[in-house]
Amino acid sequence: MASNRANWDESTTKILLDLCIAEKNQFNWSNKCLTKLGWKHVYRSSNQQTGMNLGSKQLHNKLNALRRAFLSWKDLQSQSGLGRDKQTSGVAADASFWDDDEGPPPFLDELYTLYGRDTQDRGTLLTAGGIREATPSAGTEANAQDLYQDPWLL
């Protein structure tokens, strides 16, 4: 029986993540996943770059597995779960705290780029005016001289 599973090595995984990041930068990303157009570009480009002819289901499954691993690891970072065992006076922790498999997932920087630093991270908010000190209201000592100057003469 033939297997439909793809063999994902580091370089193929990196290509997938880089393509997804490129699509996110092109705004082909919504609600923490690629849009239909974004996936179309990723399918075509991944097959061109890897030569593996991976199917859409294989690409979706790999990206979903990476996302789950990343979110699971990120959740563990916010849990304390540590206490003191009254009988031994040692550290008491949930068994998952001691698992060696709970280290950061591979390609952590790329996963942060795709899925954000916080669960509410939606990107950077830009303002038109920038950040500066408050402008004094009209008629105060701080701007009285400016009220008498003709702006066209400056």
- Is 15 inside any structural domain? yes
In a domain, 129, yes or no: no
Average pLDDT over residues 106-111: 92
DSSP codes of every residue in 51-114: -S---HHHHHHHHHHHHHHHHHHHHHHT---EEE-TTT-SEEE-HHHH-GGGSPPSSHHHHHHH
Q: What is the pLDDT of residues 78-99, one digit of tens each?
A: 666 666 667 765 666 666 665 5
Distance from C-alpha of 135 to C-alpha of 114, rounded to nearest angstrom:
38
3-class SS at 142? helix
More confident residue, 18 or 142: 18
Tokens describing residue 147: 């009220």
Which of the two residues, 32 and 16, has the higher pLDDT score?
16
pLDDT digits (tens, 9 = 90+) for 112-136: 999 986 544 444 444 555 555 555 5
- Tell me what pLDDT residue 122 has: 44
pLDDT digits (tens, 9 = 90+) for 26-74: 999 988 889 999 999 999 999 999 998 899 999 999 999 999 999 888 8
* Residue 67 belongs to some domain of the structure: yes
Position 4 in a domain? no
Within-domain flag for 144: no
What is the three-class DSSP state of 28? coil
Q: Which domain holds residue 34?
A: 10-118
Q: Would you call 30 helix, strand, or coil by DSSP?
A: strand
Assess if residue 89 is contained within a domain.
yes
Q: Is residue 65 part of a domain?
A: yes
In a domain, 154, yes or no: no
Domains in the chain: how many in total? 1
pTM above 0.75, yes or no: no
